[in-house]
Amino acid sequence: MTVQIDHALEEIRRFRPSPEFAAQAVADESLADAARADRLGFWADQARNLLQWEKPFTRTLDWTNPPFAKWFDDGELNVAVNCLDRHVAAGLGDRVAIHFEGEPGDSRDITYAELTAEVKRAANVLTDLGVGEGDRVAIYLPMIPEAIVSMLAVARIGAVHSVVFGGFSADSLASRIDDAEASLVITADGGYRKGRVFPLKPTVDEAIAKTGGSIENVLVVRRGENEVDWTEGRDHWWHETVGEASAEHEAKAFGAEHPLFILYTSGTTGKPKGILHTSGGYLTQTAFTHKNVFDLHPESDVYWCTADVGWVTGHSYVVYGPLANGATQVVYEGTPDTPHPGRWWEIIEKYKVSILYTAPTAIRSFMKLGRKIPQEFNLRSLRLLGSVGEPINPEAWIWYRHVIGGGSIPVVDTWWQTETGAIMISALPGITDLKPGSAQVPIPGISIDILSDDGTPVEGEGGGLLVVTEPWPSMLRGIWGDPERFKQTYWEKFGTEPTKAMYFAGDGARRDEDGDIWLLGRVDDVMNVSGHRLSTAEIESSLVAHPWTAEAAVVGASDETTGQAVVAFVILKASQAELVTDPAEASEELRRHVATQIGAIARPRQVFIVNELPKTRSGKIMRRLLRDLAEGREIGDTTTLADTSIMQVISAQVR
């Protein structure tokens, strides 16, 4: 458990919502009352009120075959129409949907009418390229409007998108293309990052060469204007196809359980899981939470979620939630410190952003730079702040509220996962008394419990395992192509009887005397680096794929800025000992190797070259001890080690 959590346990500050905020708040107590009185009726009402159905549903939940849930399944809707056409039809076509800010300083405002037209054009092109209902489309783009257009165009024609974060390597992209058997990739020549163009198309070319051959076409947005190779017949420029296509497109309605997207996330094994989400329930809960947790007043708010669409936060709170609600939002392509460290604050001032949703890791890195930078900008338009991705330490929460929020506006800490699809635990602004460091309460209609290992509820304030005890609308519907793994990973922690089907989140949590929930970090071998999930097993298998490596162990060590950092311990092959004489060089090479194999986010902070790893008598690596070492702590109990002196040897090598 990390340092910030120790602090959190002593945190006692409370912040009442201001009467002014409470008076205008979207959410009120009646939501929770309604959900308590009739949970399914509550969700059915939300689905009807927030969305436009082409065919109304009559069944809310089918849970006859747990853990395979069906929500609103005899209803039909089109997700893209819900995010676009219906707003235009309601006379909101001139409302800005996206204030786009490119890293080099270019900007464009895109209205709902324009976004709708562009999505229709892209939908026509996808159909022309042979993409049909249920076909998978990989999207590998920078954070530019075309990423959002692509996702909605895919959804519009009933195909399934698999967005792969632009920072992932060719190998990672290739394995995701193969797993989903995607037939099309949408990419760009390159995008802007840290003041330079980073090429994407070459990575796509390299990835396709490694796949089993499912890709038939590549659609390329021109953004970086970098040189790219071209495969005639396979590659198509966006501006020559979408740019020329008709903006007439009649959208078909699909069943509520029609697949919407696959998003890969790290689990406890080496292979990322393709988390599958469907349409009606997903859109209901993303729209509901976006409206109520962020107190959205779509006619006046300017909302900004800083996440990339490559992550679930970008799916649910850049694309689907905000657009379903007709929000006006900022989309920023680049890094926070380009060309100067005040770039984010400048953007907030420029667009008068009123709602900001970001990650603790970003807040902590701004804290390090000091309050002088944000104080140079006018941030008074802000009226609500949100946090997601990892536990927020109370110090960062307070800094966020005071320095960025001016001291009196609500900060909501939202807990959820790729698998949950939408926010599950959060304060409701205007209602909940805020507690820095706690995600607080399940949102209305969500049932959460904290259980011990044997499945009994944890009484009092002890910590336990976070579970969701009832199905929820935006829940994952499976792991792509692997129903067994879906059951085992999430639903069989406390037994295999269907009546006990409870969703095991993989997070530790405790409930305080007021019933507020505090997240305590992952209980499995998943790390959380800068709010991004990484698997120890995946990085270990990348390390052992290097010809120098005999064995590797990876741990997530607490890090002041990134929350956790990847720290690896590697034993080199004896045959390499003569070739690799400088451990510093070996460790650099291995760090580079992981970044090329998986992506820069997975690059270990440190790689220690050691001669031994601590193992139990049955040969299991004791990562707990390596974590002690990586965090500079006293080494814990070593009595179960096969060789109890081994930690001294390793410590000496590391220091």
| Residue span binding ligand WTA (CB under 6 A) among the ranges 178-186, 307-315, 368-376, 615-623 | 307-315
| 146 interacts with ligand WTA by CB under 6 A | no
Among residue numbers 357 through 376, which ones bind ligand WTA (CB under 6 A)? none
Question: Mask: binding to ligand WTA, 521-560, rule CB under 6 A, as x and -?
Answer: -x-----x----x---------------------------
| 628 interacts with ligand WTA by CB under 6 A | no
DSSP code, position 391: P
Mention every residue, 6+ apart, whose C-beta is less than 8 A from residue 190.
142, 197, 198, 199, 200, 201, 223, 224, 225, 226
In whole angstroms, how close is the CB of 251 to ligand WTA at the nearest point? 29
Q: Concatenated DSSP letters for 561-597?
A: TTEEEEEEEEEEPGGGTTT---HHHHHHHHHHHHHHH
What is the SS3 assignment for 606? strand
Angle subtended at Cα 117 by Cα 257 and Cα 349, rounded to the nearest 5 degrees: 95
Q: Scan for tokens 């814990």, then name that residue.
A: 636
What is the SS3 assignment for 342? coil
Residue from 124, 241, 265, 587 in contact with ligand WTA (CB under 6 A): 265
| 103 interacts with ligand WTA by CB under 6 A | no
Q: Concatenated DSSP letters for 231-287?
A: -TTTEEEHHHHGGGS-S--PPPPEETTSEEEEEEE--SSSSPEEEEEESHHHHHHHH
| Residue span binding ligand WTA (CB under 6 A) among the ranges 87-95, 126-134, 502-510, 560-568 | 502-510
Residue from 57, 238, 399, 416 in contact with ligand WTA (CB under 6 A): 416
What is the SS3 assignment for 302? strand
Nearer residue to ligand WTA within complex by CB, 176 or 522 = 522
Known binding residues for ATP: 389-391, 413-418, 507, 522, 533
- Please give the size of the binding site for ligand WTA, defined by CB under 6 A: 22
Known binding residues for Mg(2+): 544, 546
| 313 interacts with ligand WTA by CB under 6 A | yes
Mention every residue, 6+ apart, whose C-beta is less than 8 A from residue 651.
629, 635
Known binding residues: 193-196, 313, 389-391, 413-418, 507, 522, 530, 533, 544, 546
| Residue span binding ligand WTA (CB under 6 A) among the ranges 174-182, 337-345, 410-418, 489-497 | 410-418
At 505, phi and psi to the nearest 5?
A: -85, -20
Q: Scan for tokens 């300017």, then name that residue.
A: 302
Give yes or no for a contact between 615 and 573, defined as CB atoms under 8 angstroms apart: no
Give yes or no for a contact between 86 and 263, defined as CB atoms under 8 angstroms apart: no
Residue from 43, 357, 415, 480 in contact with ligand WTA (CB under 6 A): 415
| 506 interacts with ligand WTA by CB under 6 A | yes
Question: Mask: binding to ligand WTA, 453-492, rule CB under 6 A, as x and -?
Answer: ----------------------------------------
Nearer residue to ligand WTA within complex by CB, 190 or 394 = 394
Nearer residue to ligand WTA within complex by CB, 389 or 436 = 389
- In terms of DSSP bridges, do strands 355-358 and 384-388 run parallel, antiparallel, or are they unpaired? parallel
| 507 interacts with ligand WTA by CB under 6 A | yes
Burial state string for 24-45 with b = 16 or more CB within 10 A and e = fewer than 16: ebebeeebbebbeeebbebbbb
In whole angstroms, how close is the CB of 461 to ligand WTA at the nearest point? 18
Residue from 171, 390, 470, 516 in contact with ligand WTA (CB under 6 A): 390
In this structure, which long-range contacts are made by residues 42-45, counting pairs with CB atoms below 8 Å and at least 24 apart in sequence? Answer: 42/444, 42/445, 43/71, 43/284, 43/445, 43/473, 44/72
Nearer residue to ligand WTA within complex by CB, 78 or 474 = 474
The tokens describing 421, both together, are 């699809």
Query: Site residues (CB under 6 A) for ligand WTA?
Result: 265, 311-313, 388-391, 413-418, 439, 505-507, 519, 522, 528, 533
